[in-house]
Structure 1
Amino acid sequence: MNEKITSQQINTVLWQAADTFRGKIDSSIYKDYILTMLFIKYLSDSYKEHVEEYTKRYDGDKQRIERALTRERFVLDEQSTFDYLYSKRTDLEIGEIINKALERLENENTGKLRGVFRNIDFNSEATLGKAKERNAMLRALLEDLNKLILKPSIVGSEDVIGDAYQFMIERFASDAGKKGGEFFTPSMVSELLARLVKPIENDRIYDPTCGSGSLLIKVANQVPSKKVAIYGQERNGQTHSLALMNMYLHGIDDAKIEWGDTLSNPLHLEDGKLMKFQAIVANPPFSLDKWAMGFAGEGNNDEKFKMEVSLDQHRRFEWGVPPASKGDYAFVQHMLYSLAENGRMATILPHGVLFRGSSEEKIRQQIIEMNLLDAVIGLPKDLFFGTGIPACIMVFRKDRKRKEVLFIDASGEEYFEKGKNQNKLREEDLQRIVETYEKFESIEKYSYVATLDEIKENDFNLNIPRYVDTFEEEEPVDMEQVKESISKIKQELQEVELQMDKYLNDLGV
């Protein structure tokens, strides 16, 4: 009986592998090499075990073995296996050998792996340094990962490898500081968004800025049967590759994750129009500068380019064009335009979206008057990688029967766990938020149900303290006691001065 490997054991080996790169290149870059190699190792070990099984079952009949292998999830030839790469680990051309193996893998699994590895170059001098250093790093990486045996019989549940992959993405995000937030949303925040949109069977789930895909996986996991359709788009090439591998390692083979700029080039379309989704979640880049540059035609000067409604063929900015330096409402409008009739949507945003003026105020007013905003939830500070900015979650619904908006202030110190570099939401904090949202009720110093009239009176300013009063009354001051304390202090001071004079006198000063 093979002894099972745990996610913890996999994590330990991967974190050791990271030491090979640490200090030489940025962790937001080297994570791509480690996680890609983990993916190859898992595919290879799975394939190897199936070859052994079929060889035994068909008594070495090569034709029958070959036929059975073509029905596997992924097909590998000898030169695209991890073992082959490991055998070549001292080769001076090892970077190129790995690149060729990845290309072969793509070509043999074109339906699933097409384009997955196109954004990662194991032979890149610009990223991995000159040949000697590069080869030493790649050799060490292959030797580290060779310590793992990831055959299905040893891994057991697919979740083990999926969880390890997810854990490492989170570790790398933490390590990468500011850049970490670009590809990963802390898992408890993802869990919160997933519970707020409550996906059900056969829903289409969408994340327009999906990073490494972990948020989408959290949403899919809310549905026990996992019978949902997953869609995402990511503009960073390497992160897009990670998202695809992340899906496969979680047993999700039919996710549609596209690569490109969601604002200027949305790629999930039906009959040329934006596709509609029942559940949308996102953690878009906060206040993205130059968000509209993808709409600028060839030869357009950066400084002079001005975004206009007519430049977007999908007419997503008719409620207002967001400021050039703040793309928050560009993502919100894209998502609202992509929301199905019974759709739910939850997105993380900086607090500025709640109260900033000019065009953002106009957009905010439109959204509220169209009765799309359902709730505003204030989160604790320091939850996200690389930014201390406190964020909020805005929840939208297409089929709202009520006219009120719920405000929740979950930023108080009693609603999270303090960490050294980063704060964390606990299970009880999540439950409190979700229950309050589902009951849609006012709770003193925590939540408030505001009418449309109240929001209008506030000029459509949604700043949470305007609605949820968390002010703590200070204890009334007892003036008699203060007076008594002062006279006591005066008396003590007098005694000290007399003592001091005595000492000085004794010293003859």
Structure 2
Amino acid sequence: MVELEFKAKTQELIDSLKSICANYGLGNDGNEFKIITQIFLYKFLNDKFSYEAKKIDEDVAKANNWEKSLSDMSDEDYEMLQLQMSADTARLEPQHFISYLFSQSNAPDFAKLFDDTLIDIAIKNNDIFAVKTDGGAKVVLFDRLSQYIADESKRDDFCRAVINKLIEFSFERIFDQKFDFYAGIFEYLIKDYNSNSGGKYAEYFTPHAVARIMAEILVPQAERGTVKNVTCYDPSAGSGTLLMNVAHAIGEDRCTIYTQDISQKSSNLLRLNLILNNLVHSIPNVIQGNTIQHPYHKNGEMLKQFDYIVSNPPFKLDFSDYRDALDSKENKERFFAGVPKIKPKSADKMEIYQLFLQHIIVSLKKGGKAAVVVPTGFITAQSGIDKKIRQKLVDEKMLAGVVSMPSNIFATTGTNVSILFIDDSNDGDVVLVDASNLGKKVKEGKTQKTVLSAEEEQQIVDVFNNKDQVDDLSVTVRYDDIKAKNYSFSAGQYFEVKIEYVDITAKEFKEKMQGYTDNLDQLFSESSKLEDEIKKQLAGLNYEG
């Protein structure tokens, strides 16, 4: 009941903040997502600090006014209190509290006080909460949010409206909630800002069904609780849906996240996702930059290698500006199968996923596992880079299997997708699953998507992890079988063709054949009549100039 109540209140807060933005001319503005997500984060960090302080200090917990109780502490006691807080708690001073800003909301230049407060919090927490760029610059927690209000005379009122909403309730009672709760909140928070309408480097939101299937296969239930001290990487992380699911399967305190993504917006959303999901310790590993052109995570000159890798890379993208630099001697090992050529008049169709896939294979530790979303055409292409990549996976025994998903599993793209599972330690059977006939078609706005039921998701996971063979759904094959089929990863090419035999008498056979003959005679007769009718109609046509 508490969970449902707070989920509703949280969604109400998000809607209220969006309404405030709309009232001040920022509805659907390019900066609205910065304001909404940063205000939400400020609220979350403020209430988390309160929660931690009350958990540590009994006097603070019992006080009628916990903010005043903290303000009355000596500098030494306050410092000691903060040192005892969990590492994912922001370091705040009493003047940073929402209640303090609320008490000052009628002061002149309130917008400046509001902005200065956020910037001061960002500076004091820069080492823990800042996202880095591949050039070494730091992207801090907060901007001066009032600057996005074009009319300076309205900035104070805007900030007052925001603070009035933040003071209404506290998140304190939900900090013991787990991943599923925060995943829903995060999705609701960013639903209007994480779409494919953002242009060249749009952030595609990976459906939760795909993310859950990837996590359940990479980290099966039988291994939960045994995996620890591992690294998880996504070279095209977006807002982190895939990584959050894998980290939750492993245990947030048992893994460290590493990411890179070209989009600054995505990197900021990912930071928020990490904060919500108790993965603050991984924020220093969040890098905003071009993975293909400037991979950041390295050990010296070599790419860093990881225990788990997940990715839903862009499929088609113009990288002609730096294509030739990639096709160099220094990159021969990284792009072992080659660099896609520039397509005349259609550079935006360049198969950039081939580069991400090669980068992932080279970035995988010995014994590591990866799951990558690829266009389904990849699994059967009979030439070029796609086939060379498949050959490497088979010849070096790195393939765990493939799940071909239903069409329109992504509402934002018509491309059919498959999930490629790589396991550097798999020298046994390979599992191929054709889930293309599963799911239910539903309308989402103007687009149609396919939605898998919970039972269908579980069925896919179970047949893969158990290596079950189910008619028209899954098959297990050996590496030599795949070589014999010209390295095809399509389950349908390995399904057994079954011919059913039915015992019938000679009389029954004769009657069936006569039935087929009579049916054909009727069809031929109707066809002849139709031909005569068409000729008559044509003969009756006249030319009128």
TM-score over 0.5 for the pair: yes
Structure-2 residue corresponding to 1:336: 361
Tell me, in whole angstroms, the C-alpha distance in 1 between the residues paired with 2:456 and 2:53.
48
Which residue matches 2:42?
40
Asked whether the equivalents of residues 346 and 396 of structure 1 are also in contact (C-alpha less than 8 Å), the reply is: yes
Say if 1:377 and 1:408, in contact at 8 Å, map to a contact too: yes
Query: Corresponding residue for 1:505?
Result: none
Match for 1:207: what amino acid? Answer: D
1:278 aligns with 2:300: no
Deviation at 1:8, TM superposition (A): 2.6
What is the aligned partner in structure 2 of residue 288 from structure 1?
317
Q: Does 1:383 align with 2:385?
A: no
**Paired residues of 2:233 and 2:308 also in contact (CA < 8 A):** yes
Write the letter of the residue equivalent to 1:287: K
| The 10-residue stretch of structure 1 (131-140 or 323-332) with the greater mean CA deviation from structure 2 | 131-140
> 1: distance between equivalents of 2:516 and 2:105?
80
Gaps of 5+ in 1: 297-301, 490-509
Q: State whether residues 13 and 165 of structure 2, in contact with CA within 8 Å, keep that contact through their aligned partners in structure 1.
A: yes
For residue 363 of structure 1, give the secondary structure of its aligned residue in structure 2.
helix
3-state SS in 1 of match to 2:418: strand
The residue aligned with 1:353 is 378
Per-residue deviation, residues 391-443 of structure 1 (Å, max 9, x unmatched):
110011111212x533211111xx22433223322221222112211232432
Residue in 2 aligned with 1:56? 59
Give 1:346 deviation, angstroms: 0.6
Q: Which consecutive residues of structure 2, in runs of 5 or more, have no partner in the other structure? A: 64-68, 132-137, 343-349, 501-511, 527-545
Q: 1:266 aligns with which of 268, 273, 295?
A: 295
Cα separation, partners in 2 of 1:42 and 1:454, compared to 1, 3 Å:
same
Judging changes above 3 Å, is the alpha-carbon distance between structure 1 residues 70 and 225 closer, same or farther for their aligned structure 2 residues?
closer
Closer, same or farther: CA 341–446 of 1 in aligned 2, 3 Å = same
Shift of the 170–121 alpha-carbon distance from structure 1 to 2, 3 Å rule, reads closer
Aligned AA for 1:39? L
**Aligned pair 1:316/2:339, yes or no?**
no
The structural deviation recorded for 1:260 is 1.6
For 1:66, the aligned partner's letter is Y
Are residue 17 (structure 1) and residue 28 (structure 2) matched?
Answer: no
Q: Distance in 1 between matches of 2:77 and 2:141?
A: 34
SS in 2 for 1:32: helix
Cα gap change, 1:386 to 1:444, in 2 (>3 Å): same
CA-CA distance at 1:328 after TM superposition: 0.9
1: CA distance between counterparts of 2:306 and 2:286? 14
User: Equivalents in 1 of 2:161, 2:496: separation in Å?
Assistant: 57
Deviation per residue, 1:85-123 (Å, 9 max, x gap) = 556778897766555333311221233123475486455
Q: Distance in 1 between matches of 2:5 and 2:518?
A: 67
**1:103 and 2:104 equivalent?**
no
Deviation at 1:204, TM superposition (A): 1.5
2:206 is the counterpart of 1:194: no
SS at match of 2:450: coil
Range with bigger deviation, 183-192 or 454-463? 454-463
Relative to 1, partners in 2 of residues 1:70 and 1:347: Cα closer, same or farther, differing over 3 Å?
A: same
Q: Give the drift of 1:445.
A: 0.9
Mapping 1:407-422, distance limit 5 Å: 407-412=432-437, 415-421=438-444, 422=449
C-alpha distance in 2, partners of 1:122/1:183? 28
| Deviations 1:260-286 (CA, angstroms, capped at 9, x unpaired) | 222222222223322221111111122
Alpha-carbon contact 1:212-1:243 (below 8 Å) kept: yes
Aligned equivalent of 2:168, options 142, 147, 152: 147
What secondary structure, in the 3-state scheme, does the structure 2 residue paired with 1:258 have? strand
Aligned partners of 2:196 and 2:203 also within 8 Å: no
Q: 1:428 aligns with which of 452, 455, 474?
A: 455
1:486-501, aligned counterparts within 5 Å? none
Whole-Å separation in 1 of the counterparts to 2:11 and 2:44? 14
Give the aligned partner of residue 533 of structure 2. none
Partners of 1:142 and 1:65 in 2: CA distance: 28
SS at match of 1:233: strand
Percent sequence identity over aligned pairs: 21
Match of 1:362 in 2: 388
CA distance in 2, matches of 1:311, 1:140: 55
SS of equivalent residue, structure 1 residue 387: coil
- 8 Å contact kept, 1:33–1:120: no
Against the structure 1 CA distance between its residues 98 and 479, is the aligned structure 2 distance closer, same or farther, given a 3 Å change threshold? Answer: farther
Q: Counterparts in 2 of 1:247-258, with a 5 A limit?
A: 247-255=274-282, 256-258=285-287
More RCO (CA 8 Å, sep 6+): 1
Secondary structure of the residue aligned to 2:239 is coil
SS in 1 for 2:403: strand
Q: What's 2:8 paired with? A: 8
User: What's the offset of the Cα at 1:383?
Assistant: 2.2
Point out the more displaced range, 443-452 or 184-193. Answer: 443-452
Point out the more displaced range, 33-42 or 183-192.
183-192
1:157 aligns with 2:171: no
SS in 1 for 2:295: coil
Distance in 2, Cα, partners of 1:374 & 1:51: 47
Post-superposition offset of 1:61? 4.2
**Would the alpha carbon gap of residues 93 and 418 (structure 1) be closer, same or farther in structure 2, given more than 3 Å must change?**
farther
Cα-to-partner distance string for 1:295-323 (whole Å, 9 max, x where unaligned) = x3xxxxx8xx46414253x8301232234
State the SS of the aligned residue for 2:292.
coil
Residue number in structure 2 paired with 1:374 = 400
1:166 aligns with 2:182: no
Q: Is the 8 A contact 2:101 2:114 kept in 1?
A: yes
Q: Distance in 1 between matches of 2:112 and 2:498?
A: 63
Aligned mates of 2:315, 2:485 — CA distance in 1: 25
